Amino acid sequence: MIRMYILLGFAFLFFHLYITGELSKYINMRYSYISFSAMFVFAFLTIVQFVLASRNEEPRDHGEECCGHHHHEPSARWKRAVNYLIFVFPLASAFLFPVATLDSEVVKAKGIHVPGMAADGSDPFAQRQFLRPDTSMYYGRDDYQNAMEKELKKYGRLARLELNDQNYLNAMETIYQFPGAFAARDIEFTGFVYREETTRANEAFLLRFGIIHCVADSGVYGLLLQFPKTVPLQNDEWIHVKGTLSTMYYQPFHMTLPYVKVTSWERVAKPKEPYVYRQFNE
């Protein structure tokens, strides 16, 4: 019966995540159908396990039960208990602990890493945090180049880039891939503020946490902002900015980066869905 309750717990967990919308904190919703299918699979297995458990609970002779008790070894019980705990632990964690939204503290702890910039090889997490989106690992060389050229045709003809939840990662990757093509182009987008010790008083990064497939490959993506003067902004404040794209050599990263010359900005409320997701079907 314990197996049945564990399977029921997983079925309810997927149902809970799907209904509350918290599933988007773990995976790109492009793959939500997989989790939706898993919910029904676990429900079906729960029914199967219930039928099997009911059949095994037929009345047996008392002497036979006693004999069976003598042959149960403590080690086998411990192994079974450990096996059950392995499955119970993630269920308990999911229901007892709230879903945490990634913020600037995660960026500060792991740092911003730009593909191509030297990273400390002793930190296995350094490669997970990107300022620049990079999906080249999911394509062959020619296929990736063709995909990016299609994105360039799509965004390159726009007089103004308006980044939203749907096009954020695609447009951001295109900007970093072809920074010269977007020089002097107007842009506006929303994100949370992040400042490092190396950023100047009139500079800040405007970022969004993005998920390509699932939270395991999540990263923080955005652009450097340059304000006309010092602005009183703190980490994790959400703002909407308008400005013009340009490029500059950013000394702390020892490389040329696209950045935004801010012309106007305003504080905004944190969006209901703070994450953005990579779109592959555009």
Q: Give the pLDDT of residue 267.
A: 96
Paired tokens of 128: 């997970």
221 phi/psi in degrees, rounded to 5: -130, 145
- Of the ranges 112-121, 143-152, 244-253, 267-276, which one carries the lowest mean pLDDT score? 112-121
Same domain, residue pair 116 and 207:
yes
Within-domain flag for 282: no
d(Cα 265, Cα 84) in Å, to the nearest integer?
Answer: 53
Q: What is the CATH number for 214?
A: 2.40.50.140
Cα separations in angstroms, 183 against 59, 172, 186, 243, 272: 80, 14, 9, 12, 32
**Residue 18, token pair as written in the block:** 């799907």
Same domain, 73 and 125: no
pLDDT, residue 139, reads 82
> What phi and psi, each to the nearest 5 degrees, are found at residue 192?
-105, 150
pLDDT tens track for 178-221: 999 999 999 999 999 999 888 899 999 999 998 888 877 778 99
pLDDT at 103: 67
**126, part of any domain:** yes
Choosing from 74, 96, 118, the residue where a domain stops is 96
217 contacts: CB under 8 Å, gap ≥ 6: 128, 211
Confirm whether 216 is domain-assigned: yes
Do residues 91 and 118 share a domain? no
> Tokens in use for 119?
């990273």
Same domain for 175 and 40: no
Same domain? For 183 and 67 the reply is no
What angle separates helix 74-96 from helix 2-20, to the nearest 10 degrees? 10
Looking at the structure, do residues 130 and 256 belong to the same domain, yes or no?
A: yes
Whole-number pLDDT of residue 265: 96
113 and 71, same structural domain?
no
Q: Which of 55-69, 142-156, 208-222 has the lowest mean pLDDT?
A: 55-69
**Domain range enclosing 181:** 104-277
Model confidence at 261, pLDDT cuts 50, 70, 90, reads very high
> Backbone phi, then psi, for 194, in 5-degree steps?
-140, 130
Using CB atoms within 10 Å of the CB of residue 72, give its burial: 0 to 12 exposed, 13 to 18 middle, 19+ buried.
exposed
Number of domains present in the structure of the chain: 2
Residue 11 lies in a domain: yes
Q: Over 50: is that where the pLDDT of 122 sits?
A: no
Rounded distance, CA 175 to CA 194, Å? Answer: 20
Residue with tokens 């400390």: 120
